Amino acid sequence: MIIEYPVRLQVYLAKCGVGSRRFCEDLISQGRVMVNNKVIREMGVKVNEDDVVQVDTETVEVIDKTYYIALNKPKGYVCTNYDPNETRYARDLIQIRDKDLLFNVGRLDKDSSGLLLFTNDGDFANKVTHPKFEIEKEYLVHLDKSIDIEDLTRALKGLYIDTDKPYKLKSYEFVPRRKDYIRVTLTEGKNREVRKIFSFLGYEVKSLMRMRIGCILLGNLQSGEFRNLTKKEMDGLIEGKTSLDPRKKFGAALRKEKEEKAKLRAKNKREAFK
């Protein structure tokens, strides 16, 4: 991994696989990071290649090999890498030699299942999780009763629940013949956002499974299984794609596409005879 020194401390930490840049900034503000045996609490500090950087008194160094992994997290596993009250950690399901270097990209709560990404690349994690990139996350939600369209309309507009920023669905889609199952898409991913939205509207979430992150699909990955992401998936995710396969268009959408192509051909012909 090539780094141009001097580099900002939080960027250096991210490239060491400590976590995303935002997570590393939190570590710095908490006084848990030292440079050359001096505690650093302010942002903007830069480090050079020969500086000694420590997190919680352990020296960290830039990692040469990077990992990008998709896991189908089962219900009952936690995303944190250590909690004295827990015994089942999602990262432990990833059986590779360097698994201790990995951290989860975003979160799924203990009672939820589905697609969860792991990496040791802090820059990649930042691009996937930062709200400004608006990476879509799609969930399959099982509710305790059929949902009212008016409630979904409210959720699309935004609900003020416990912060000054609204909890908001980007879109939704009913599962055929089951109004108690629904697919919802979000872009921010606040803590327990889906559960809070439906609880606020008067519904109980019976189960919650993440099916997609950007263009990456859970697909046929079985519960507890993991796989490496492809370069095509990683590139598509960073580019903000929601699918790697162009979807076929039907009806009005197909007619509109044909009309636009016909107009373009006609325009090109006119310009060719000028």
Q: Identity (one letter) of the amino acid at 60? A: V
192: region left, alpha or beta (phi > 0 left; psi from -120 to 50 alpha) = left
**Residues whose CB is less than 8 angstroms from the CB of residue 233 and which lie 6 or more positions away in sequence, other chains included:** 215, 216, 244
Give the whole-angstrom CA distance, residue 132 versus residue 22. 13
**Neighbour tally for 178: CB within 10 Å:** 11
Whether residue 76 contacts residue 110, with contact meaning beta carbons closer than 8 Å, is answered with yes
Give me the active site residues, please.
109
Burial of 161 from C-beta contacts in 10 A (0-12 / 13-18 / 19+): middle
Beta strands per DSSP E along 155-274: 171-175, 178-186, 205-213, 216-217, 226-228
**Neighbour tally for 110: CB within 10 Å:** 16
Q: Output phi, psi for 15, to 5 deg.
A: -75, -15
